[in-house]
Amino acid sequence: MSIIHVNQIAARIAPQFEPSIVSNGALHSTPVDAAKPLLTRCLAAYAIQYKTACSDADAGAAVVDGSNDNGIDAIYVNQGNGVVVMAQSKWMSDGTGEPSSADIGKFCRGVEDVLSFEWDRFNAAIQAKRTEVESVINSFDAHVELVLIYTGSQDLAVHGKRQLDDLLTKLNDSSELVSLTILNQAAVHASLAAGSAGAPVVLEFGLANWGRVDEPLNAYYGTVTGSELAAWWSTNGVRLFDRNLRSVLGRTEVNQEITSTAIKRPRDFWYFNNGVTVVANRVTKNLAGGASRDFGTFRADGASVVNGAQTVSTLGRAAASGANLDDVRVLLRVISLENDSANTDYSAEITRTNNTQNRIEARDFATQDPEQTRLMRELAMDGITYAVVRSEETSATEDFIGLPDATVALACARADPSLAVLAKRNIGQFWSDISKSPYKTIFNPSTSGARLARSVRVVRMVEQRLRKHIGDLPKKSGKRYGILVHGNRLIESLVFKQIGGSALDASHFDIAPFGIDAKVDGIVDKVVDVIDTTYGDNFMATLFKNTDKCTYIFAHVV
């Protein structure tokens, strides 16, 4: 059956992706009219679409296979979701075998080079994606998805799997930055058979303590287990969210809270989580159970999760990592569009309102703090607008400070490496609970408007000097470049350490005598020396999110 399956896969993906791959002028080296290289590239495009549900054209444009690709056959960047997907594909015509240890090792080294910004080691097709990749990797909620896809029927050999496991361990040193999906022949064939290119999603599920709403549309509601939602994700992936406005957003602060609650406080999940909303072309209830509302079995045809994508995907990933979600209960609503003849736009309206009404972010909780009101008033007296409430007008000017700017600056001004790391890794954690640290550590009655404004000014000056250092580099890659890009918060904290906290609270403050530029120059050189000596083989993107390592660097920069 292996060869039959391989032929079926080829017949499906070749016409789907070949037009966009052939038109991709960035490709070079191996001629695209050769059957095996073309199918390898189509398989890489399919891997991208499998993970992202992007269009055929976008999946084809993600293919970068060619000479000097360092084992990376496709790269797709979703800046809105903060995700970079990198894939290696191997076409095995006879349907047997698995990628060699050498090929996997090459892929691992290529991933390391991308995350280290060693762009001069890649072909033009990969270099063309540099700006997009760096923009995501430098963001707070960056996540990298690795995909190894092949048409062999065997599982990976132990040596190849070990290389991938070692890579994940190394990259996820401080947080879960990188995840891995392995798709062999069986997985590829099954996903294509399930219609991942666009066939309707069918969900079968059980609802505990269920109820029904008849008007204006038929709908059911009740409680579903986390394990059941995880099974949806395992079977359907991002196809679940075809009608959702945002789909999966990667490892955001919200998703981290979802994971934490599911694992540490599963019985509280129903109370803490907003639940999941599904719309479907048709919803039917199985006759089993009769009229009892204790438990019912349902089927939703043409289903899509329109609200709760982060809940479903996060629980799915947690289950894939070994978490037991049987005790996690989630509120579920399933709305049938079968009788929507009077309003054909009702599905779109449900999607829009579920994703826009009552939406709140962690930073919104800060608006409840009287200290923020006091700071706004103090800064207003000095002609500075301090925006605590979310606003579109968030440009950083001399007389405008946003809450994120203030949070980062005050965290670094404490000259505490753990706070600097938190500002780099997950700024939202400062605002998640305004009744305790770390929020209270930086926003408290002793924090004056003057201290806030001065701290922001220092950080902006440091950032300006770091940009000059970056501009002076002969090439925008390598370790020093990574330190300048990823180490900004720790460097800023070190600058404040040299300035001294008392200076920020002085009745008069003149920044000129502190020589910020000279301080930055010296600190950068010392940070580079410490890292070269102690952490030379670390990835800068993860190093500066590791509290222990940054504390060591902080202590040894003198």
pLDDT band at 475 (very low <50, low <70, confident <90, very high): confident
Task: Return d(Cα 60, Cα 79) in angstroms, integer.
Answer: 18
pTM attached to this predicted model: 0.69
CATH placement of domain 2-193: 3.40.91
27-31, 141-145, 344-348, 491-495: least confident range: 27-31
pLDDT band at 29 (very low <50, low <70, confident <90, very high): very low
For 159-281, strand residue ranges (E) read 178-183, 202-213, 219-225, 276-280
Task: Return d(Cα 249, Cα 143) in angstroms, integer.
Answer: 9
Tens of pLDDT, residues 42-94: 999 999 988 887 888 999 999 999 888 999 999 999 877 788 999 999 999 98
Question: Which tokens in the block code for residue 265?
Answer: 């406080």
Tens of pLDDT, residues 151-192: 998 889 899 999 999 999 888 876 677 888 899 998 888 888
* pLDDT at 31 > cutoff 60: no
Q: List the chain domain ranges.
A: 2-193, 202-356, 362-556
CA-based end-to-end distance of the chain: 66
Q: Which residue, chain included where needed, has tokens 């925006």?
A: 387
CB neighbour burial string for 61-82, b if at least 16 within 10 angstroms, e if fewer: bbbbbbebbbbbbbbbbbeebb
Task: Return d(Cα 262, Cα 556) in angstroms, integer.
Answer: 39
Q: What is the pLDDT of residue 516?
A: 95
Q: What is the pLDDT of residue 421?
A: 95
Rg of the chain, C-alpha, whole Å: 26
pLDDT band at 362 (very low <50, low <70, confident <90, very high): low
Per-residue CA distances from 130 to 10, 84, 143, 233 (Å): 31, 11, 16, 31
Which neighbouring-strand residues pair with 75?
A: 86
